[in-house]
Amino acid sequence: MSTIDQEVAGYYDKVLKRNAGEPEFHQAVAEVLESLKIVLQKDPHYADYGLIERLCEPERQIIFRVPWIDDDNNVRVNRGFRVQFNSALGPYKGGLRFHPSVNLGIIKFLGFEQIFKNSLTGLPIGGGKGGSDFDPKGRSEAEIMRFCQSFMTELWRYIGEYRDVPAGDIGVGGREVGYMFGQYRRLVNQHESGVLTGKGLTWGGSLVRKEATGYGTVYFTDEMMRANGDSLDGAKVIVSGSGNVATYAMQKAQELGATVVGFSDSSGWVETPNGVDIELLRDVKENRRGRVSEYVEETTGATFHKDGSIWDLSADVALPCATQNELNGDHAKALVDNGVKYVAEGANMPSTHEAIELFRAKKICFGPGKAANAGGVATSALEMQQNASRDSWSFDYTDNRLRGIMSNIFNIAANTAEEYDRAGDYIIGANIAGFKKVADAMLAQGVI
Ligand code: NDP
Same domain, yes or no, for 217 and 350? yes
Q: Is residue 228 part of a domain?
A: yes
Q: Is residue 39 part of a domain?
A: no
DSSP run (H or E) holding 188: helix 174-188
Choose one of 329, 363, 397: the last residue of a domain. Answer: 363
- In short, whether 190's Cβ falls inside 6 Å of ligand 1 is no
Mean pLDDT value across residues 358-372: 98
42 marked among binding-site residues: no
Residue whose CA is at the smallest distance from ligand 1 atom 36: 347
Q: Is the pLDDT of residue 187 over 90?
A: yes
| DSSP-derived secondary structure for 193-262 | GGG-SS--GGGT--TTHHHHHHHHHHHHHHHHHHHTT--STT-EEEEE--SHHHHHHHHHHHHTT-EEEE
Same domain, yes or no, for 294 and 227? yes
Q: Is residue 402 part of a domain?
A: no
- Find, among 63, 59, 100, the residue nearest to 81 by Cα: 63
Query: Among 199, 215, 244, which residue has the most ligand 1 atoms within 8 Å of its CB, making it the best to mutate?
Result: 244
Q: Is residue 66 part of a domain?
A: yes
- In short, whether 344's Cβ falls inside 6 Å of ligand 1 is no
Instruction: Give me ligand 1 centre to Cα 323, in Å.
Output: 5
* Catalytic residue flag (residue 129): yes
What's the CATH number where 224 sits?
3.40.50.720
Q: Is residue 261 part of a domain?
A: yes
197 marked among binding-site residues: no
3-state secondary structure 43-109: CHHHHHHHHHHHHCCCCEEEEEEEEEECCCCCEEEEEEEEEEEECCCCCEEEEEEECCCCCHHHHHH
Residue whose CA is at the smallest distance from ligand 1 atom 21: 266
The confidence score (pLDDT) of residue 88 equals 98
User: In which domain, by residue range, is 136 found?
Assistant: 60-191
The count of structural domains within the chain is 2
Q: Is residue 171 part of a domain?
A: yes
Which of the four pLDDT bands, split at 50, 70 and 90, describes residue 1? confident
pLDDT mean across residues, the chain = 98
Q: Is residue 141 part of a domain?
A: yes
Q: pLDDT, tens digit, for every residue of 163-177?
A: 999 999 999 999 999
What's the CATH number where 173 sits?
3.40.50.10860
Mean pLDDT value across residues 1-21: 96
Same domain, yes or no, for 162 and 240? no
Which of the four pLDDT bands, split at 50, 70 and 90, describes residue 89? very high
Q: Is the pLDDT of residue 121 over 90?
A: yes
Same domain, yes or no, for 68 and 167? yes
Mean pLDDT value across residues 294-308: 97
Rounded (10°) CA dihedral 405, 410, 411, 415: 140
Same domain, yes or no, for 128 and 180? yes
Instruction: Give me ligand 1 centre to Cα 324, in Å.
Output: 9
Mean pLDDT value across residues 348-359: 98
Instruction: Give me ligand 1 centre to Cα 40, in Å.
Output: 35
Q: Is residue 124 part of a domain?
A: yes
The confidence score (pLDDT) of residue 298 equals 96
Same domain, yes or no, for 257 and 172? no
Same domain, yes or no, for 223 and 352? yes
pTM over 0.95: yes
Q: pLDDT, tens digit, for every residue of 394-404?
A: 999 999 999 99
264 marked among binding-site residues: no
Same domain, yes or no, for 223 and 323? yes
DSSP state of 327: B
The confidence score (pLDDT) of residue 373 equals 98
Alpha carbons 146 and 143: distance in angstroms, whole number: 5
Which of the four pLDDT bands, split at 50, 70 and 90, describes residue 195? very high
Q: pLDDT, tens digit, for every residue of 38-80?
A: 999 999 999 999 999 999 999 999 999 999 999 999 999 999 9
- In the chain, the percentage of residues whose pLDDT exceeds 70 is 100
